[in-house]
Amino acid sequence: MDEVSLNLEPPLHACWMKQGQQKIIPALHPGTKQHRHLFGAYCWNDDQVRWRVAGWKNSQSFIEFIEYLLVDQYPTGRIVLAMDNVSYHKSAAVLAALSLFEHRVLVFWLPPYCPELNLIERYWKHLKQLACANKLRNSIEEVVASAEYVLSQQNDLKSKLRLTFSKDL
C-alpha cells in the first residue's frame, strides 16, 4: 500500500511524434497548483487495486484508508500490508488504529529508500503513464477522473489497460 499525488502539472514522458514535428504540452499559469492524493493497496491475489482519493497525505487520511480496506473491502481474513517508512505511516494514531486489527493484519515494513520492493509503486507509474502523462487537464477533478478511470480498468478482468505481475517464483 502507498500513496501517490496527482496535480495539474502533467508528468512529461517520452512519446512518439511524426518526423519533423514537435509535440507541444501547454504550461500552467502561476498560482494554479492544485493536488489530490490517491491512497492505494495492490492486491497480489487478483491484481486489483483498492483506492481512495484524499485532499491531504497525513495520518488521518491514512487511517481512513486503513479502515476502508479492513472494514469495507476485507472485513474478514488475514491481510499483509507492505508499507514504507513515511512518517505518518508510523505515527502514534496510525499505530493505534492498526492495533485494533492486529489479530488479522501483518504489517511488513519495507526498508528505507526501497520503493522498488513495493508493487504498487510500479502500478502508480503505469497509472500516471495512462492517466496523466503529457496531458494538460483543465481542473484537478479532470485529473482525478482520468486516474479513477484507469483504476477502474485495473479492476476489470477483461480490460486491456490492466497491469499484471508474474506470479512465477
List, for residues 54-65, the tens digit of each pLDDT value: 999 999 999 999
Average pLDDT, integer, range 89-96: 96
Report the C-alpha gap between 117 and 83 in whole angstroms.
10
Query: What is the average pLDDT score of the chain?
Result: 89
Cα three-residue angle 32-60-138, rounded to 5 degrees: 20
Of 50-64, 66-80, 153-167, give the lowest mean pLDDT range. 153-167
Q: Where along the chain do its domains lie?
A: 36-41+48-154
Grid coordinates representing 87 are 512518517
Report the C-alpha gap between 166 and 54 in whole angstroms.
30
List, for residues 17-44, the tens digit of each pLDDT value: 778 887 766 665 556 678 899 999 999 8
| CATH fourth-level superfamily of 36-41+48-154 | Ribonuclease H-like superfamily/Ribonuclease H (3.30.420.10)
Please report where in the chains the cell 506470479 appears, as a residue: 167
What is the percent of the chain where pLDDT is above 70? 88
Report the C-alpha gap between 38 and 57 in whole angstroms.
9
User: How large is the angle between the packed helices 140-154 and 119-131, nearest 10 degrees?
Assistant: 120
